Amino acid sequence: MTTIKRFLPYLIAVVASFIAAGIFIAAMDFNPFKAYETILFTSFRTPNGFIQTLLKWIPLTLVALAFTVPLSSGKFNIGAEGQMIVGAIGATAVGIIFTDLPAYLLLPMVIIAGVLAGALWGLIAAWLLYQFNINEILTTVLLNFISFALIDYIATGPWRDPAAGHPTTIPIGAGGFLPMLINNPPLHSGIFLALLVAIGIYFFTNKTTSGYELVATGANPRAAKVHGINIRKMFLFSMVIGAGVAGLAGVIEVSGVHHRLIEGLHSNFPVLGLIIGLIARGKNQAVPFVAFFIAILEVGASAMQRTLMIPVQIVLIMEALILVFILLSDLIRRRQK
């Protein structure tokens, strides 16, 4: 009975959002039932649909964790977009500079470089918070804009691909490509990296002393400080870990999908990551499941636009409504107590 009560607000939020979006679809003279059939089942009708869902699930899970890990300590990392971009830049730089290295050397170097680059980008905001108590929301958002300039410079600079009609670099070395699990339709091994990170974060925050201190800091910073936890270090630590995870998302997009740096490779993943983190109510263990549901909606939205000519923005409205209804359910429950 407790489990049913726990999941009931999610179910109500999803149903209510579908009803509300259905009204919009019907008002535009489209069939909402056909739209929902396309949105919900495209991912499972063909192998390609399922693979595309998994490929979206990977970055969505990582950027959502980049938000929820700092949130565990009570901090808001709004900079996953910039951290993902800088991670992709770091991976690309190493992949191009050391292009001739064999895979057993180049691939680990590419992954480590991207994760460290993302973590360093998060460290800037964390250090400003730690040293000068500058709000992390402000600094992470501002760092996003700097990352936009960086990727534009790199993609149009000396490493640019002159044959591309879009800001794009030349490819990284073949040794930096993630191994493929399936070639047709293509699925790279980055899915294992995302799974390992998700599982590792769950065990860290739920099964270790440091993870307990991190969660305790977010739950009640004053009480945590009284019990000897260095909350400022916890803030810094969580921001750096979250940024490193976002950097890994950038690495996987470069090493597993594009094999080069492309301006705009982050797509709308960071924004959806925030939505996923909030729908999951900041719980790291819930993120992979919510991310999979959102990936289904995203793949279905593209198919809906192609086949039914219904604007893809309908799904964005639906995702936002799910979040709104969940937040409203939290508010109602708090007022009833």
Give me the tens of pLDDT residue by residue for the chain, a chain 337 residues long: 455 666 777 788 888 888 988 898 899 888 999 999 999 999 999 999 999 999 999 999 999 999 999 999 999 999 999 999 999 999 999 999 999 999 999 999 999 999 999 999 999 999 999 999 999 999 999 999 999 999 999 999 889 999 888 899 999 999 999 999 999 889 999 999 999 999 999 999 988 999 999 999 998 898 988 888 999 899 999 999 999 999 999 999 999 999 999 999 988 898 999 999 988 888 999 999 999 999 999 999 999 988 888 888 888 888 888 888 887 877 776 676 5
Residue 126's φ and ψ, nearest 5 degrees, are -65, -40
Q: Where does 31-309 sit in CATH, by number?
A: 1.10.3470
Q: Is 40 exposed, middle or buried (0-12, 13-18, 19+ CB in 10 A)?
A: middle
The ranges assigned to domains in the chain are: 31-309
Rg (CA), the chain: 21
Q: Got the DSSP string for 98-111?
A: TTTS-HHHHHHHHH
Could you please report the per-residue DSSP string of 226-276?
HTT--HHHHHHHHHHHHHHHHHHHHHHIIIIIISS-BTTTTTTHHHHHHHH
In sequence order, which ranges of the chain are alpha helices (DSSP H)?
2-27, 32-45, 47-72, 80-97, 103-132, 136-156, 190-207, 209-219, 221-226, 231-252, 269-279, 287-308, 313-336
Q: What is each CA distance from 50 to 45, 46, 226, 275, in whole angstroms?
A: 8, 7, 49, 22
Structure tokens at 186: 């293509």
